[in-house]
Amino acid sequence: MKLSLQYQESFEDRHHGQTDSAQADMLQTVGVSSINELIEQTVPEAIRLARPLDLPAPKTEMQFLADFRKLASQNKVFKSYLGTGYYDTFTPNVILRNILENPAWYTAYTPYQAEIAQGRLEALLNFQTMVSDLTGMDLANASLLDEATAAAEAMHMLYAMRPATKKSASTFFVSKHCHPQTIDLIFTRATPIGIKVLVGDHRTVDLTNGDIFGLLLQYPASNGDVFDYTDLIASAHELGITVAVAADLLALTLLTSPGEMGADVVVGSAQRFGVPMGYGGPHAAFFATRDAFKRQIPGRIIGVSVDAEGKPAMRMALQTREQHIRREKATSNICTAQVLLAVMAGSYAVYHGPQRLRAIAERVHGLTKVAATALRWSGCEVTTENYFDTITVKVGDVESLKKSARAAQINLRYYADDEHVGISFDETKTLADVTELLDIFGTKADLDAIADELEITWPERLIRTSEYLTHPVFNTHHTEHDMLRYLKSLEEKDLSLVHSMISLGSCTMKLNATAEMIPVTWPEFGKIHPFAPKDQTLGYQQLFSDLNAWLCEITGFAAMSLQPNSGAQGEYAGLMVIRAYHESRGDSHRNIALIPQSAHGTNPASAVMAGMKVVIVKCDERGNIDVADLRAKADQHSNDLACLMVTYPSTHGVFEESIKEICAIIHEHGGQVYMDGANMNAQVGLTSPATIGADVCHLNLHKTFCIPHGGGGPGMGPIGVAEQLVPFLPGHFTVNSQQPTVPAGNRNSQQLTAGQLPAAYGAVSAAPYGSASILTISYAYIAMMGGEGLTNATKQAILNANYIKARLEGHYETLYTGTNGRAAHEMIIDCRPFKQAAGIEVEDIAKRLMDYGFHAPTVSFPVAGTVMIEPTESESKAELDRFCEAMIAIRNEIREVETGEADRVSNVLKHAPHTATVALADDWNRPYSREKAVYPLPYVRARKFWPSVSRIDSAYGDRNLVCSCIPTDAYAEEVAEA
């Protein structure tokens, strides 16, 4: 027998779920002879790409990782003293391996189905408790995208909540001591909604200026100063002015909390709690506030409620505040946040506990103090008086200092005045590092002698005396075994892609391959500060340039911006591009955004945040945009038309035939077309946003391009734009700088009002390339799939959806299809008829799927009472079949209620999900068997997933809001009394 050396492992074969023979069976079920025939019936001819994608040939996993190592090695990891909100940190290895590198955590989705998400809900509750304890506030949310956007959210909230006496006030005062990226972002976000920004010195601000409604302060300040804001906040409150403070969590273990100083909102980043810098992200920002603002708080909040057995259970609280409900009335568009990173930061606090956290902070402060003292002794002028971890030093010859620092591979913060240098310490630094630093300053000192005399010398009022992290969870799991087992116990409560398919429509829960994930934790990507000089980040620059080129090829656009950190933030960025474009043409009056009825809630919310007015366009009975209505509205608003926002294929899971005509109508009226790219998984290689006629779109890299959802973030939402919009892409103050020169509020006292946007309108994220370190994942995916592989993925995703549709025919109605009766990559199943026939709601079906080991598809979006199923290309036929069997079995269970065979109130659906505790209880009095409850189909026995709580009562939790950890037994007593 001859031997062949031809075999090469193909990544594409591993990414796709189907073998050739499985695919052949599926095509037969769908009723086509080839996958291309199906695509012809599904994707309108007028929009099909004329040529295959021109991308580099696919690499094997081994080739890719070897080549990528070389690219990574072009990044130079210098020791960072840059501070400015980003610090080097030790990720505890137990957290690194068991959370960050663990697919059970990173492949989970946002905890919409709380009964199978109690693990991450608890981890998020820990995060919220940690934040509210340390900041001294009543409650905190479960993360935002970054500190700068969290500060902008605070501004929005305080603006929306102005008291009666301040209703016409529109100036937001920002301390010049805030981080420069925060000041920049505040300008971006304030301008379109008519807020004026005044940057200045908080020590001299004239609060009697009646136009000021709010303040933003930094604590400790960006240059290191620790100011006592107590009196300023009290004076502001007397005048009806509210105050937000951007604070550092580690500093708060030693410093009086902003809450104790009277702050209304505290925001910040939890990055230094064990999350690598990653050249900008991802990290979890936080937002904490007073109880009075709990209904206005942006983002998601986790709260404690009770389940059907009266036991405590967690779920997302106060959902009616969110953009998906409030749409154009929403005050925030935040959807995907930073769950995985919040889980890590909260776990860092669990692992260390209050004593160790304080010890870490003392060490960081102590080292800073040693450095400051030694520098002063040697005659340097340290201009920071009270500081925690950052000092500013006045330097005679900055150029020669820069040279020495470079030679020692050290990054310092060089101020734009060429006179001052900033030095920020973190938990990874030691006394030896201080010696090295002194060396660069050309001096030496007896550091041990200085260290012996160390003590905190802040004014009394700044010394923290209040307790924090007193809950048992922060005082129990301090050994590695305990922590490992705690994390495992949480992990086991959550259903993720490691268990079964998660067919959430519009979310694209595809494979997040291990080879794609491996580079994320390489230090060459993780240990780089976002403001590190460009010549230290050549690997990253190469990655950006390749990825930009590939995404341009895929979208058909002229340029990309990799800055936005989520889909919704991409929407905002894209709309701001459109806004700046119109302004550049003297069309600043163009402010109408046409948005179809079926759009995701973030679309109208983003439009309003970009200063636009939303006009809704109807959909017809097939779920398509009603072209006549669109034409009428475009005619009516012709003069003021800014844009159309359209999702393609539609959120109804259909490739609309009229998309080209729709885009043409908008262009005829001088508008631009914004395409929501959430459904790109149905486009790649077959059509493209540019081909359908769009001018700008965002790509959810956490959907189509394999960044895992992390339980609700991180994500990345880069935008692509057509030629005419390229000059208006987001900017960032660091982008053209070769040196880490970080300006200190370089827009001092500059005031912009609505209608005065600069050409490129500024930043949308704190970091210039958003969450740069996870761009490696999408890069890996494209590099290993190649153009043909990506196109095959799209075809397979469409086949998988149509296969499910075919298998469910006769059991469920598919709500919308294209002209040839085909679904795109997802479909909506109508569950509304069951309510009348059997009293069964769509929620009952979602919960019953848990008993079968599945996460529910998307419930009630975009149509109430339906589920939207998106299988993706990565699921095997066997898995699709198991899911279909579960859905068909559930349909039969509904039929049993319809026919009277099962009780209308007490049945398997109404009682779902069934926990082990319920199923094994001595007193089983249900009118169906335990077997039927928990092992409804044979395959379930082999892979049973046990929900850890019974059906959760959300309304109870909203009425009795509890958003931080409380002792379980105390809670149980409360429930009993209620």
Instruction: Give residues in contact with ligand PLP (CB under 6 A).
Output: 335-336, 506-507, 566-568, 600, 602, 647, 651, 676, 678, 700, 715, 717
Residues 964 and 320: their CA atoms lie apart, in Å, by 20
Residues 740 and 734: their CA atoms lie apart, in Å, by 8
The CB-of-234 to ligand PLP minimum distance in angstroms stands at 38
Supply angle C-alpha 696, 697, 699, rounded to 5: 150
Q: Is the separation of the CB atoms in 870 and 507 below 8 Å?
A: yes
Picking from 578, 577, 553, 580, the residue whose alpha carbon sits closest to that of residue 563 is: 577
Element (H, E) at 663: helix 659-668
Picking from 685, 676, 541, the residue whose alpha carbon sits closest to that of residue 606 is: 676
Picking from 749, 761, 719, 747, the residue whose alpha carbon sits closest to that of residue 610 is: 761
- Residue whose CB is less far from ligand PLP, 339 or 799: 339
The CB-of-603 to ligand PLP minimum distance in angstroms stands at 7
Torsion of CA 289, 291, 293, 298, to 10 degrees: 60
> Could you tell me what percentage of the chain is helix, strand and coil, using 3-state DSSP and rounding each to the nearest 5?
45, 15, 45
The CB-of-946 to ligand PLP minimum distance in angstroms stands at 28
- Residue whose CB is less far from ligand PLP, 390 or 647: 647
- Residue whose CB is less far from ligand PLP, 150 or 965: 150
Residue with tokens 């692992």: 351
Strand partners, 392: 422
- Residue whose CB is less far from ligand PLP, 156 or 600: 600
Residues 316 and 313: their CA atoms lie apart, in Å, by 11
Q: Cβ-count burial of 114 within 10 angstroms (0-12 exposed, 13-18 middle, 19+ buried)?
A: buried
Picking from 682, 622, 613, the residue whose alpha carbon sits closest to that of residue 648 is: 682
**Phi and psi angles of residue 297, each rounded to the nearest 5 degrees, phi first:** -60, 130
The CB-of-507 to ligand PLP minimum distance in angstroms stands at 6
CB neighbours of residue 41 within 10 Å: 17
CB neighbours of residue 7 within 10 Å: 6
Task: Give the pairing of strands 592-596 and 559-561.
Answer: unpaired
Residues 336 and 715: their CA atoms lie apart, in Å, by 7
The CB-of-715 to ligand PLP minimum distance in angstroms stands at 5
The CB-of-334 to ligand PLP minimum distance in angstroms stands at 7
The CB-of-574 to ligand PLP minimum distance in angstroms stands at 11
The CB-of-698 to ligand PLP minimum distance in angstroms stands at 8
- Residue whose CB is less far from ligand PLP, 42 or 651: 651
φ/ψ region of 467 (left if φ > 0, alpha if ψ in -120 to 50, else beta) reads beta
Strands (E), 597-649: 613-617, 641-647
- Residue whose CB is less far from ligand PLP, 510 or 747: 510
- Residue whose CB is less far from ligand PLP, 567 or 685: 567
Kindly provide the b/e burial profile for residues 715-727, where b requires at least 16 CB atoms within 10 angstroms of the residue's own CB: bbbbbbbbeebbe
The CB-of-330 to ligand PLP minimum distance in angstroms stands at 12
Q: Is the separation of the CB atoms in 785 and 15 below 8 Å?
A: yes
The CB-of-696 to ligand PLP minimum distance in angstroms stands at 14
Element (H, E) at 341: helix 339-377
- Residue whose CB is less far from ligand PLP, 222 or 506: 506
DSSP characters over 398-409: HHHHHHHHHHTT
The CB-of-721 to ligand PLP minimum distance in angstroms stands at 18
Residues 371 and 444: their CA atoms lie apart, in Å, by 10
The CB-of-561 to ligand PLP minimum distance in angstroms stands at 15
Picking from 711, 710, 689, 713, the residue whose alpha carbon sits closest to that of residue 699 is: 689
The CB-of-858 to ligand PLP minimum distance in angstroms stands at 8
Q: Cβ-count burial of 895 within 10 angstroms (0-12 exposed, 13-18 middle, 19+ buried)?
A: middle
Structure tokens at 789: 């592989």
Residues 811 and 892: their CA atoms lie apart, in Å, by 9
The CB-of-273 to ligand PLP minimum distance in angstroms stands at 24
Picking from 482, 696, 486, the residue whose alpha carbon sits closest to that of residue 578 is: 696
The CB-of-860 to ligand PLP minimum distance in angstroms stands at 13
Picking from 763, 283, 299, the residue whose alpha carbon sits closest to that of residue 563 is: 763
Residues 842 and 860: their CA atoms lie apart, in Å, by 8
The CB-of-275 to ligand PLP minimum distance in angstroms stands at 19
Residues 715 and 710: their CA atoms lie apart, in Å, by 8
Task: Measure CA 699 to chain center.
Answer: 13
- Residue whose CB is less far from ligand PLP, 92 or 653: 653
- Residue whose CB is less far from ligand PLP, 339 or 469: 339
Picking from 799, 870, 825, the residue whose alpha carbon sits closest to that of residue 35 is: 799
- Residue whose CB is less far from ligand PLP, 532 or 599: 599
The CB-of-685 to ligand PLP minimum distance in angstroms stands at 20
Q: Is the separation of the CB atoms in 227 and 255 below 8 Å?
A: no
Residue with tokens 């109430």: 864
- Residue whose CB is less far from ligand PLP, 305 or 771: 771
- Residue whose CB is less far from ligand PLP, 582 or 698: 698
- Residue whose CB is less far from ligand PLP, 676 or 851: 676
- Residue whose CB is less far from ligand PLP, 695 or 851: 695
The CB-of-801 to ligand PLP minimum distance in angstroms stands at 16
- Report which residue type is found at 249: L
- Residue whose CB is less far from ligand PLP, 507 or 764: 507
- Residue whose CB is less far from ligand PLP, 192 or 567: 567
Residues 402 and 385: their CA atoms lie apart, in Å, by 24
Residue sitting closest to ligand PLP (CB) = 567
- Residue whose CB is less far from ligand PLP, 332 or 506: 506
